[in-house]
Structure 1
Amino acid sequence: MGQDIDITRKIIALLALRTATGVSQALIDSLSSARSETELFKKLDLTAELQYLKESYLNSEVRLFAAGDIKRWEGSGISLLAVGSPDYPELLAKIYNPPALLFCRGEIPAKRFPLAIVGSRAADPQGARFASTLAAELASSGACIISGLALGIDGMAHRGALSGSQQGATVAVLGSGLNEVYPRRHLKLAGEILASGGALISQFEPDTPPYPSNFLDRNRVIAGLSRAVIVVQAKKRSGALVTARYALEEGRDVLAVPGSPGNPLSAGTNKLIKSGAYLVSSAEDVCELFEQLSSNKETAGRAGCSDPVCRLLAESGEMHIDELSRRLGLQDNLHLKLLELELAGSIERRPGNLVALKTY
């Protein structure tokens, strides 16, 4: 309970400091690693400027206003998460200067594999369909699809994730406050995300309008929440490419969907692939990169095969044929056994002499 009180006091302190004249969001975020109000104030004692902020905070009534704001927001279903609190997203906490505070409606799915799908607001029909299908198939494989609720690719990714009726299949990160959902035409979509067990997240106070400068911060949070960022259609200059850059800076994987060289909407994704991003042409390409998704997708194959080969592949994932032979002690009859299982639809052969359970 003491730790909860410390976190609450820290949240009040951070909110109060936000109102002080001349305090930038970057400075507030730099204080986020403090685990309590006391530790935060130790950081403020480091320089005369910061010491002045501490004195201003301690001698004002702004703390009471901050506490009142928290109570009002919680009454409307908004929770506040501070770095160091148990509910703060683990992956986001690992980035450089994570947002000191997150405002959240709904529940951030903890058991799903977080993948971002982002792209152009002016997506063409082909790109929109692909984003929707990709999100639907990845959600059914155990992913939580994270995107920015924007028009175009973002919105289609959210809708695709929702199409399978899975709980907690998508999370939207806003470039505005949670009471100012933007774009307004996605207000219904935001409600559907919450109804499905997903969440709306913002680093901005609930009544903050969608200022243009907010969206770069929004993109950084999308990348920080995700194990990988998948870009579906992006021009040479695109916010989606900024999200990809943030992902690379934090050591996260970047994947991209190729397109025609003559399509301006593919210029950004093709450049990413040329620079080393993983090429994605289907959900299976993504599942092959991440065992957490592959194992989820291969459940059907495992359930229908009790052969020792299937059991070993279920436990260890795809395996080189030589390793499979060594582990099972089969040599002369292995190729015949694999052929039988392949014809039965239980396993599949992959490039590089790899063998895996059949995916569906």
Structure 2
Amino acid sequence: MLWTEDRIARLCLGSFSGFGCRSLRKLWRSFPSPQKAWTGSSHALLQAGIPQKAVERFCEWRKDCKPQRLVDQLAQEQISFVIPDDPEFPQTLRDSSDPPENLFVRGNLVDAPSVAIVGTRHLTTYGKRCVDMLVPELTRAGLIIVSGMALGIDGLVHEATVNAGGITIAILGTGIDEASLYPREHVALAHRILEHHGAIISEFPPGTGSRKEHFPMRNRLIASLTQATIVVEAARNSGSLITAKLALEENREVLAVPGPIWSDTSVGTNHLIKLGAKVCTNARDVLEVLTFDRPELIAQARALMPLDPHEQQLLKLLTEPKHIDELGRLLAIDSPTVSSRLAVLELKGLVKSIGGQMWIKGN
């Protein structure tokens, strides 16, 4: 990474806790360059629309800020500083209504279709079974799995993705340096994510601790980065419902896993379905949503992951049209398993439905 004066200035400005995205955008509009904004007078900052208290705090903070120390800390922690002009900045974020002005990244930002899976911190056995069913199939389809590394469903999602051999991205509401990783119970999980070619990202600089107001901002990134958000379990006031709302505002798909009507952790998901969220009962429901009017996703996901033995056998059988029940009998597996494997193959463009639950090998 080439540290120009402007990039260093952006890092410094983005490291001041009093400047959010809106303040930074005011600075970009009012100054000819980030460097000029960084060295701007208090009067010029006020003229840019920055509130007086924030200007006073910033000018005091700037006196003690050591730009090279910030750069050195990123290098020491192996953190990349990514801005919207960089090619590795995700296009989905660039296209969102409220994109981050800076990203701090550990690991690899993989350019591939992705889905977010979020849910309650107080998961049940039912929620765990849902994650264990959904994640391996979505991973096998070549999708990147995104979540917030919180306790409960989020952490389980990352763990299941890694165990399935997939790639997962954790988006945090804290800094991503070792000392700031949160929750501390998931530090080892964060390391596993990185070891398996995933990424940990945040718009908050190193040293930023856990603050309640940061988590809706984290949820905004989760919703904006992905093509769809799946809510597995959520109570009435769960933060994952905020993620779903933000996804809808970004014109992303929202799916919810229905749950028992007597379960507190299914009140939120069942309510989402009442409001119009698509029902998610298996991986096929997700894949159908992603490929509807989005054929480019098929091309992107094709052959990203190797076929498992059942998928290989299905391809051999589908040189001629066959009914899904016949496929189940020939392979000695149940229809839901056949259906989920066909959904993966369909996403990769290897098979196609010809109606009446009949399938044939694709082009």
Q: TM-score, normalising length from structure 1?
A: 0.76
CA distance in 2, matches of 1:259, 1:146: 22
Note the C-alpha offset of 1:46.
10
Alignment of 1:90 onto 2:91: yes
CA distance in 2, matches of 1:33, 1:243: 28
Alignment of 1:208 onto 2:208: yes
CA distance in 2, matches of 1:261, 1:122: 17
Note the C-alpha offset of 1:260.
1.4
Contact 2:148 2:154 in 1 (8 A): yes
CA distance in 2, matches of 1:185, 1:118: 18
Moved more, 92-101 or 188-197: 92-101
- SS of alignment partner, residue 106 of structure 2: strand
Contact 2:117 2:146 in 1 (8 A): yes
Partner residue, 1:11? 7
- SS of alignment partner, residue 235 of structure 1: coil
Alignment of 1:25 onto 2:29: no
Contact 2:5 2:35 in 1 (8 A): no
CA distance in 1, matches of 2:193, 2:151: 15
CA distance in 1, matches of 2:323, 2:187: 52
Contact 1:301 1:358 in 2 (8 A): no
Partner residue, 1:178? 176
Larger radius of gyration: 1
Contact 1:146 1:173 in 2 (8 A): yes
Partner residue, 1:48? 47
Cα distance change on mapping 1:26 and 1:159 into 2, 3 Å: same
Alignment of 1:278 onto 2:278: yes
- SS of alignment partner, residue 290 of structure 1: helix
Partner residue, 2:315? 304
Partner residue, 2:345? none
Partner residue, 1:244? 244
Contact 1:256 1:273 in 2 (8 A): yes
Cα distance change on mapping 1:11 and 1:279 into 2, 3 Å: same
Note the C-alpha offset of 1:342.
7.8
Superposition pairs of residues 56-95 of structure 1, within 5 angstroms: 65-95=66-96
Contact 1:13 1:63 in 2 (8 A): no
Contact 2:321 2:360 in 1 (8 A): no
Contact 1:29 1:97 in 2 (8 A): no
Aligned equivalent of 2:321, options 338, 348, 353:
338
CA distance in 1, matches of 2:131, 2:85: 34
Give me the CA root mean square deviation. 3.9
CA distance in 1, matches of 2:98, 2:32: 18
- SS of alignment partner, residue 255 of structure 2: strand
Q: Which amino acid aligns with 1:289?
A: V
Contact 2:149 2:172 in 1 (8 A): yes
Cα distance change on mapping 1:240 and 1:33 into 2, 3 Å: farther
Contact 1:13 1:37 in 2 (8 A): no
CA distance in 2, matches of 1:215, 1:349: 42
Query: What per-residue deviation string (whole Å, max 9, x for no partner) do you get for residues 163-214 of structure 1?
Result: 1224xx1010111111211111111100000000000101111111111111
Contact 2:323 2:359 in 1 (8 A): no
Contact 1:301 1:357 in 2 (8 A): no
Unpaired segments ≥5 residues, structure 2: 292-296, 331-341, 343-350
Identity of aligned residues (%): 32
